[in-house]
Amino acid sequence: MSLKTGISTIAVFTIVFTLIALAPVSAAIVHGVVYNWENLKPLPKAIVVVNTTPEQRLVTPNGNYSFNLPPGHYVIRAFYYKNGRLVLYTEDNITIENASGSYIVDLILFPPLNFNFTQPDVEFPAPSATPASGGQNNVSLYVIFVSSLIAGVLVAFYLFKGFKKRKVESDSGACELSPEPEKPVKVEPVKPEMPEEKEVKTEVKELEKGVPCLPEDLAEALDEIVRAGGRITQKELRKKLGYSEAKVSLILTDLERRGYIEKVKVGRGNVVFLKDEYRKFFGL
């Protein structure tokens, strides 16, 4: 083999290995939103970790996260710290089968029931040390006294402002959860009533109570249940709302806690029923 042929062969192998090394690894996109369980709002500054090799992690700037993952089985975990202490946590399993697909995995963080899991190494800034007074005790005490007095006045002002705002909202009757007290009824001579008349009056009395206002997502779900005739499967409700399975489950739990609906386990899913008093109210 001549020197020229050997150099050409080495050059060809070099180009082939370079192209193989530079070829992008196919991976799927896994993304979603981290929610707070209390209000179902996106949770900024949450830490999301996925158990790849090496481990990937990110801090959500506005509650959104995204990872590029090759096919395999993964555990996605999310942590939220407040004042250096873990207050919310969740984890979810996901299997990537198609490297070119896109997966939406929304995460709802709850208070941790136990701490039998590995927390990510997070460094929190230490509080800065207070410099020595340098013998100026009188000046320092005066500054502390004035600062405390100003802070007390500001706190009292904001408390009074908040109390006044709540009083105005209460007087306006906005979003009250309990029905208004009934007006006094004039005493009239008792007249015999037929059973049908009593039933009609009772139904009218319940209709006058009204339905208290709800958050937008709860009201939307309740409207879909009413449109379905007061009975719908949880799977069908999720299709109509377009929310994730976790968010729909949390919405139904809230509606059930407020007394609007009840869930019944049927097979591998749930059937949602509107309570009888609200079925009468909506004319179902």
Same fold, 3-109 and 203-281: no
Looking at the predicted structure, is the pLDDT value of residue 46 above 80? Answer: yes
Q: Domain boundaries in the chain?
A: 3-109, 137-173, 203-281
Dihedrals phi, psi of 10, to nearest 5 degrees: -60, -40
CB 221 within 8 A of CB 248: yes
pTM over 0.75: no
Q: How far apart are CA 205 and CA 268, in angstroms?
A: 39
pLDDT for 174-226, tens place per residue? 444 444 445 555 555 555 455 444 443 444 344 444 556 889 999 999 999 99
**What per-residue confidence (pLDDT) applies to 1?**
52
Looking at the predicted structure, is the pLDDT value of residue 44 above 60? Answer: yes
Q: Which amino acid is at 47?
A: I
Looking at the predicted structure, is the pLDDT value of residue 164 above 90? Answer: no
**What per-residue confidence (pLDDT) applies to 154?**
81
Tokens (6 digits) for 53:
């090799």
- In terms of average pLDDT, the best of 54-68, 155-169, 265-279 is 54-68
pLDDT for 259-283, tens place per residue? 999 988 888 888 999 988 888 888 8
Averaged pLDDT for residues 67-95: 92
**What per-residue confidence (pLDDT) applies to 94?**
92
**What per-residue confidence (pLDDT) applies to 22?**
43
Q: How far apart are CA 237 and CA 239, in angstroms?
A: 5
Q: Which secondary-structure segment (H or E) carries 110? A: none
CB 124 within 8 A of CB 107: no
**What per-residue confidence (pLDDT) applies to 122?**
64
What CATH class is the domain 203-281?
A: mainly alpha
**What per-residue confidence (pLDDT) applies to 67?**
93
* Strand order across the 56-59 sheet: 56-59, 47-50, 72-82, 85-96
Q: Whole-angstrom distance between the N-terminal and C-terminal Cα of the chain?
A: 92
pLDDT for 13-24, tens place per residue? 455 444 444 444
pLDDT for 116-152, tens place per residue? 667 776 665 554 444 444 445 555 676 787 778 888 8
Reduced to 3 states (helix: H, G, I; strand: E, B; else coil), residue 49 is strand
Reduced to 3 states (helix: H, G, I; strand: E, B; else coil), residue 39 is coil
CB 33 within 8 A of CB 21: no
Q: What percent of the chain is modeled with pLDDT above 90?
A: 32
Q: Within its chain, how far is the Cα of 148 from the centroid?
A: 37
Q: Which residues are CB-neighbours of 62 under 8 A, at least 6 positions away?
A: 42, 44
Looking at the predicted structure, is the pLDDT value of residue 171 above 80? Answer: no
**What per-residue confidence (pLDDT) applies to 73?**
92
- In terms of average pLDDT, the best of 60-64, 124-128, 153-157, 197-201 is 60-64
Name which residue leads in pLDDT, 204 or 32. Answer: 32
Q: CATH number for the 3-109 domain, one of 3.90.1530.10, 2.60.120.10, 1.10.3720.10, 2.60.40.10?
A: 2.60.40.10
